[in-house]
Chain A
Amino acid sequence: MSIDLAAIRAEFPLLKRKINGKRLVYVDSAATSQKPQSVLDAMDNYYTTQNANVHRGVYTLAEEATSAFESARARTAKFIGAQDPHELVFTRNATESINLVARTWGYQNLRDGDVVVLTEMEHHANIVPWQMLSAERGIIIRWIPITSDYRLDLSDIDALLDGASLLAVTSMSNVLGTVNDLEKLVAAARSAGAKVLVDACQSIPHDPVDVVAWGADFVAFSGHKMMGPTGIGALWARRELLEEMPPFLGGGEMIRDVRKDGFTMNDVPWKFEAGTPAIAEAIGLGAAVDWLSAVGMENIAEHERALTEYALEQLTSAFGDEITIYGPQTAEGRGSAVSFLFNEIHAHDISQVLDEDGVCVRAGHHCAKPLMRVLGVPATSRASFAIYNTFEDVDALVEALHKAKTFFAR
């Protein structure tokens, strides 16, 4: 491994914080990642030296701001393997990206009785927009089930996709950590004539991603889970699709011309970016992909895989039957999100006790209530690792769980 973990950790100012006098053990990166200093500096630099609106002024500041904004787009597009930076639409987050597809492509192409195929492991962001379309347009939603080992059950995939217009699927479950077989899913969708939308929120920060190799039509992701700021996300889509799709929001920036009797649209991607965008945040996202590239996505994937393997081993060997891990039981074909139920103690209570030791885990339904119903649990605790986590963080988690067990056994 060619990473210097101590040097990497030193780049994250927040990791120096103490919680209740204890070293911060941040293992909730699937919810949002911490931010390296270079991202904070890039945003600060924009506000302190370049702040002007983009695509409007002809003065030096406006040119610099526009250039920094568009450069961030180009670097982000390149980072995910896109050939054309104009195939990358800036949004607020993956949720907005998916809603954009549902509201534009969906409204244009889906009618009563058309089928959208989802999976049981989707985040609400990739469920509710389609349910809204179902309520308004009468589209039908089919669900790819999960197996008892927490993977997609593809045994009936061709029947499920038969006649479908769209397959909308996560590349990695934010609850189970399961990495889905996109190659197989995209091939099945293609032969059924369905378009494919990938919710890539959990993959892009953790694995090398090439959207062109995936062969998907739409890819949605959020900046704040990949070392970038909140308030910026993106939709990547094939150019011919973006060209055909109607605009999303109306306003400035998305137009070429406006007269009293109507308007003409701007080119892609700006036709989907009405209003002043999140300029500083886009610049921050650009710095985030630079940071990830400098560390190297292969290195990141390798380190996180080692952490995940260690966490699964430690949790299982320390607690045996007292812990149920919801997700693949080995590090094979999974990411670093490890959801679990511990000693029948509710996830909130676990999280509260862990916080005493500075250990931050997510507790709840993880915005995946249909999945939680399939699993038959109201809530789980979830630890999720990023490049800045250490093996000591896993040890601290295990130690804190021992304390929780003692506390609730009193």
Chain B
Amino acid sequence: MPGLEDLYREIILDHYRSPRNRGELPTPPALSAEGFNPLCGDEVVLYLNVDAEGNVTDIKTGGQGCSISQASTSMMGAAVKGKSIAEARQLITAFKALMSIHESKLEGGDATAATEEAIAGVRLGDLEALQGVVKFPVRIKCATLAWNTLTQILDESDSA
């Protein structure tokens, strides 16, 4: 049985207590999307300024929810700010691979190889602290909410 310290790492609680990049940006020009976790009511709102070169020049976040969802939102914002959209997408892929180890195992896949491939060359930094979440499968959706919302914004801007 994994312990609570695996889930609530100090860096996670720090982001929860002092979330980075809280606030709003005027839309337009900012891109925005809301994400909901219908099972538990967690909410995430993201605002993204992207320049002509496709770089995320600013990001603001809002919403409410548990420590995992809100810390993941804060850490995601800090990780994505200043990155290009291509780099942001790599981060999303790597982070979701990190979170999908459990599901992949359930489906009988080779979790380790697939995860290593997605994560290879991507610097996750503080985000690796969220790895403990996979030991608590019910909470994975809390951790991925912000990332799915970011994907939604990027996909919408691609098709715009």
Q: How far is the CA of A316 from the CA of B54 in the complex (A)?
A: 54
Binds B, one of A173-181, A182-190, A263-271, A341-349: A341-349
Q: B28-62 interface mask toward A, CB cutoff 8 Å, 1 = contact, 0 = none?
A: 00000000000111110000000000000000000
A138 on the interface (CB 8 Å rule)?
Answer: no
Among candidates B7, B41, B136, residue contacting A378 with C-beta atoms closer than 8 Å: B41
Query: Which of B64-72, B81-89, B118-126, B148-156 contacts its partner?
Result: B64-72
Task: Confirm or deny: A365 has a beta carbon within 8 angstroms of a beta carbon on chain B.
Answer: yes
- B4 close to A348 (CB less than 8 A): no
Chain B positions within 8 Å of A346 at CB level: 65-67
Across-interface contacts of B1 in A (CB, < 8 A): 20
Task: Answer whether residue A363 sits at the interface, using C-beta atoms and an 8 A cutoff.
Answer: yes
Q: How far is the CB of A164 from chain B (nearest CB, A)?
A: 30
Please determine whether B4 and A356 come into contact, CB atoms closer than 8 angstroms.
yes
Q: Are B4 and A378 in contact (CB under 8 A)?
A: no
Give the CA-CA distance A156 to B93 in the complex, in Å: 54
Decide: A365 and B13 in contact? CB cutoff 8 A.
no
Residues of A within 8 A of B65 (CB): 346, 348, 378-379
Contact, CB under 8 Å: A369 / B4: no
Known: A347-B66, A378-B65. A407 touches B41 (CB 8 A): no
**Contacts A363-B40, A364-B40, A369-B41 given; does A408 touch B13 at CB 8 Å:** yes
Residues of B within 8 A of A349 (CB): 8, 66-68
Are B41's CB and A372's CB within 8 A?
A: yes
Q: Which of A299-353 contact B (CB under 8 A)?
A: 345-349, 352-353
Contact of B4 among A347, A352, A372 (CB under 8 A): A352
Mask, B7-32, CB within 8 Å of A = 1, is 11000010000000000000000000
Chain B's interface size range is 10 to 19
Q: Which of B118-151 contact A (CB under 8 A)?
A: 136, 139, 142
- Hey, which chain B residues are within 8 Å of A352, CB to CB? 4, 7, 136, 139
Residue from A352, A356, A369, A410 with most neighbouring chain B CB atoms (10 Å): A352
B67 CB contacts on chain A under 8 angstroms: 345-346, 348-349, 408
Instruction: Quote the shortest CB–CB distance from A28 to chain B (angstroms).
Output: 14
Chain A contact patch, size range? 10 to 19
Q: A378 touching B43 by the CB < 8 A rule?
A: yes
Q: A347-B66, A349-B66 are in contact. Are A407 and B40 (CB under 8 A)?
A: no
Task: Closest B residue to A408 by CB, please name it.
Answer: B13
List chain A residues, Cβ under 8 A from B139. Answer: 348, 352
* CB < 8 Å A-B pair total: 45
Q: What are 25 A-B pairs with beta-carbon distances under 8 A?
A: A20-B1, A345-B67, A346-B67, A348-B40, A348-B65, A348-B68, A348-B142, A349-B8, A349-B67, A349-B68, A352-B4, A352-B7, A352-B136, A353-B4, A363-B40, A364-B41, A378-B41, A378-B42, A378-B43, A378-B65, A379-B41, A379-B66, A407-B4, A407-B8, A408-B67
Q: How far is the CA of A349 from the CA of B138 in the complex (A)?
A: 12
Question: Contacts A348-B40, A379-B41, A410-B13 given; 19 further ones with Cβ under 8 A?
Answer: A346-B65, A347-B66, A348-B67, A349-B8, A349-B66, A349-B67, A352-B7, A356-B4, A363-B40, A364-B39, A365-B40, A369-B41, A378-B41, A378-B65, A379-B40, A379-B65, A407-B8, A408-B13, A408-B67
* Complex: A347 Cα to B64 Cα, angstroms: 12
State A364–B8 Cα separation when bound (angstroms). 19
A348 touching B13 in the complex, CB below 8 Å, given contacts A364-B40, A369-B41, A379-B40: no
- In the assembled complex, the Cα of A346 lies from the Cα of B68 at a distance in Å of 10
Q: How far apart are A408's CB and chain B's nearest CB, in angstroms?
A: 7
For window 72-120 of chain A, which residues contact chain B by CB distance below 8 Å?
none
* Complex-state Cα separation, A379 to B69, whole angstroms: 13
Residues of A1-52 whose CB lies within 8 A of B: 20
Are the C-beta atoms of A348 and B66 separated by less than 8 Å?
yes
- Could you tell me the distance in whole angstroms from the C-beta of B35 to the nearest C-beta in chain A? 13
- Please give the distance in Å from B156's CB to the nearest CB on chain A: 25
User: Distance (Å) between the CB of A99 and the closest chain B CB?
Assistant: 19
List of A residues within 8 angstroms of B68 by Cβ: 348-349
